[in-house]
Amino acid sequence: MTKLTWLVTGCSSGFGKDFVHSILARGDNVIATGRKAAERLAHLKDTGATILDLDMSTSEEEINTKAQEALKIYDGIDVLVNNAGYIDFGFVEDFSYDRWLAQITTNFLGAVTLTRALIPHMRSRRSGTIVNNGSMLGWQSLPCCPGYCATKYALEAYTENLQIELAPFNIRSIVFEPGHFRTSIISPTNRTESYSSHPDYAPTLEMLRAHFDGNDGNQPGDPKKGVELMIDVVKGEGLAKGKEMPPRLPMGSDALEVVRKKCWETLKTCDEWEKAIKSTDFPADVPAYKYNGDEIASSK
């Protein structure tokens, strides 16, 4: 088996930290990145991973510089894992422009910029894998985390673009969609939050806080198992052996339920509203461009 080199963002805790340990256990190289790496990634110093300071909210120029630095460490990168992200909790009415910008910059634009910096390298080698760590909240939004949900929805569409454009160069892309996993992302000490004090929102806020507090530490998903599955899918091993990499993959029974429900609801809407939906077309005898998304998506 060929030894792969992985670049993983957001390695201070959660999935990122587990990625580092699992990748090394499989005999591959890993470049672990994070903000203030000397401090926040100190726990990975003796693992055998290469530590690289990389803030996904920084400038395009800085991310490009770090990408070129990373490429020189092991003479290339085979797998990019865009894992960095956080949740800023608050109602839509509370979300200022700056809060939106911070969420989008870290959770989405940072991944887009780093990916773009590495595409020429992968394209020239005609190989590579891009992993975007999404969420089941890219299928079903929840109140009080609009920025996070929006960025996860954006990752879904962005990954599809990568799949269509980069497939001719043998570069694979996938978005994983974890449900609730037992990480520290919603722990009280780790939460970024600011809520409206208006009494109209009090009942919803009380319900949400009870949900987050009750869910923290009791999530059904095991992060180590989740990471092992993601690595299996990339390497074609374990439960993924003999299977073609899917364009997206829910992770966890709760995510599976959310995805199935959304698909069913969407198909139900299409069936119930089919006549109205088609009523906006020109008559059949009027020449018109015939869109075939499947044909475009599968073109090489």
The residues that are catalytic are 148
189 secondary structure, DSSP code: T
Gap between the terminal Cα atoms of the chain: 28
**Which are the contacts of 271, defined by CB distance < 8 A and separation ≥ 6?**
none
**Which are the contacts of 44, defined by CB distance < 8 A and separation ≥ 6?**
11, 17, 20, 32, 51
Spatial separation of the C-alpha atoms in residues 68 and 62, rounded to whole Å: 10
Q: Give me the half-sphere count of Cα atoms (radius 13 Å) on the Cβ side of residue 259.
A: 19
Q: Report the candidate in 116, 119, 194, 106 with the shortest Cα–Cα distance to residue 154.
A: 106
| Tokens 């020189």 -> residue | 72
**Which are the contacts of 199, defined by CB distance < 8 A and separation ≥ 6?**
none
What's the chain's length in residues? 300
Q: How many helices (H) and strands (E) does the chain have?
A: 11, 9
Q: Is 129 exposed, middle or buried (0-12, 13-18, 19+ CB in 10 A)?
A: buried
Q: Is 182 exposed, middle or buried (0-12, 13-18, 19+ CB in 10 A)?
A: middle
- Strand-pairing partners, residue 171, are 128
User: Largest Cα–Cα distance of the chain, in whole Å?
Assistant: 70
- 88-89 and 128-133 strand pairing: unpaired
181 secondary structure, DSSP code: B
